[in-house]
Amino acid sequence: MIVYLFMMLAVLAVGSALAVVINKNVINSALFLVLNLVSLAGLFLVLNAQFLAIIQVLVYAGAIMVLFLFVIMLLNVENEEKLFDKFRVKYFLTFLLAIGVMGQIFYSITGAADMLPAISENMAYVGTVEAVGDVLYTKYLFPFELTAILLTAAIVGALMIAQHKIKRTDEI
């Protein structure tokens, strides 16, 4: 049962990731990215990481993707109509590089195959909200507080960058 669930979610994740890259319409890409993030949240549930699954849906598929869609609609971005209409050398080089990257990752995974962990018996307890909060507010309290400073700095920086009045030049 779990195996079928994993297969379904994995196919959904890979297919939606491919659709993000291939789609010519920017808004369709963003919506497929939402599908990808939600299927990743399902995979987190398969891994018994309930807290991270909820956070993934709330923060990523909720907040960040709304921000993306908002910016896309604000800028009325044009579609990439001539994405695949002719063969470019760049695509071939990208294909070679992708083969290289994936081969290297799989090579390192198979090289460490006998060191990979078997399933742990306390996997069911490790990802609950209780367990995560227990560690987050005791052992990792200081980095957690620093996250607040990081988010404040990001908001102030984004306001400074996006608000700045610039003389529009005619040349592109």
Note whether 118 binds another protein by CB under 8 A: yes
Is 85 or 169 the residue whose CB approaches another protein more closely? 169
**Least distance to another protein, CB of residue 69, Å:** 10
Residue list 142-161, contact with another protein (CB under 8 A): 143, 147, 150-151, 153-155, 157-159, 161
Based on the shown chain and the rule CB under 8 A, indicate whether residue 64 belongs to the binding site for another protein: yes
| Shortest separation between residue 47's beta carbon and another protein, angstroms | 4
From the centroid of its chain, how far is CA 27? Answer: 16
User: Cβ 124 to another protein, closest distance in Å?
Assistant: 9
55 binds another protein (CB under 8 A): yes
Instruction: Please answer whether residues 26 and 79 qualify as being in contact, where contact means their C-beta atoms are separated by less than 8 angstroms.
Output: yes
Among 8, 106, 129, 141, binds another protein (CB under 8 A): 106
Q: Which of 38, 113, 138, 141 binds another protein (CB under 8 A)?
A: 113
Binding of another protein by 96 (CB under 8 A): no
Q: Which is nearer to another protein, 55 or 85 (CB)?
A: 55
